[in-house]
Amino acid sequence: MADDILKGRAWRLDHDISTDVLSPGAYAVDPVEVRKLHVLESVVPEFASEVKPGDMIVAGRNFGCGSSRETAAENLRALGVTCIVAESLSRLFMRNAIAVGLPALVCRDAHAAFTQGDEIQAHPGEGRIINVSSGLEFEADPLPEEMCRILAAGGILAMLKGQGVV
């Protein structure tokens, strides 16, 4: 998965998008089919109904701050989001995104250069982000080898199944 070239449409989100808006506490133990309907509802109410498979997120600083809830990443994946690009990522969100097989890249310059709905191409393995609409290209921090291996396996659980576990 880390080697794929992803193409889609960018959702431009603000700074400090928290796990409370990505996966509201009130639906914490509901199934993913319910949880995904409430993603970002308090800040971008149309997101869950308008997001399409293949879309990506281009966010500001500290994306995914807050809770350890993996559902924040899982909900986005369930809605078809294929990649997160942010000025900075919360440690827990990044770890969880990789764990569920969703590439999450830190790219300092992309956020300012995208507008809502721009066409985007992402190369997670190479750490390259392209704003197809403007033609501008950006470099993201390369993902460490450990994370690439987890992404390539399709996430931690898939990796555990593949290993037959120790």
Partner 1 sequence: MNLAERILARAAGRNQVAAGEFVMAEVDLALLHDIFAAQVFDLLREVGVDRVSDPDRTVVVIDHLVPAPSTAAAELHQKIREHVERLGIGAFYDAGRGICHQLLPEQGHIRPGELVVGTDSHTTTYGALGAGGTGIGTSDMVYALATGRLWFRVPETIRFEMTGQLMSGVSWKDVILHLAGRFGSDGAQYRAMEFAGPAVAGADMSSRLTVSNMALEMGAKFGLFAADEVTDAYLRDHGGAGTEPFQPDPDATYEAVHEITLSDLEPQVALPHEVDRVSPVVEVEGITINQAFIGSCTNGRIEDLRAAAEVLAGKHIADGVRLLVAPASQAVLGEALETGVAASLVEAGASILAPGCGPCFGGHGGLLAPGERCIGTHNRNFIGRMGSAQAEIYLASPATVAAAALTGQITDPRHLEAPDGR
Window of 49-57, 77-85, 87-95, 118-126 that interacts with partner 1 by CB under 8 A: 87-95
Among 4, 6, 9, 62, binds partner 1 (CB under 8 A): 62
Nearer to partner 1, 8 or 64 (CB): 64
User: What H or E segment, with its residue span, contains residue 162?
Assistant: helix 156-163
Q: Does 34 bind partner 1 (CB under 8 A)?
A: no
DSSP 49-99: HH--TT-EEEE-TTBTBS---THHHHHHHHTT--EEEESSB-HHHHHHHHH
Q: Does 49 bind partner 1 (CB under 8 A)?
A: no
Q: Does 156 bind partner 1 (CB under 8 A)?
A: yes
Q: 135 in helix, strand or coil?
A: coil
Q: Does 23 bind partner 1 (CB under 8 A)?
A: no
For 146, phi then psi, to 5°, come to -60, -40
CB of 162 to partner 1, least distance (A): 10
d(CA 131, CA 56): 12
Q: Which residue has the tokens 């960018």?
A: 10
Q: Does 108 bind partner 1 (CB under 8 A)?
A: no
For 140, phi then psi, to 5°, come to -100, 160
Nearer to partner 1, 3 or 14 (CB): 14
Strand order in the sheet with 104-106: 104-106, 83-86, 56-59, 6-12, 119-123, 128-131, 136-139
Q: Does 88 bind partner 1 (CB under 8 A)?
A: yes
Nearer to partner 1, 52 or 161 (CB): 161
- Provide Rg for the chain, Cα atoms: 15
CB of 147 to partner 1, least distance (A): 9
- Which residues form the interface with partner 1 (CB under 8 A)? 16, 18, 20-21, 24-26, 28-29, 41-43, 61-62, 65-70, 73, 88-92, 95-96, 99-100, 144-146, 155-157, 159-161, 164-166
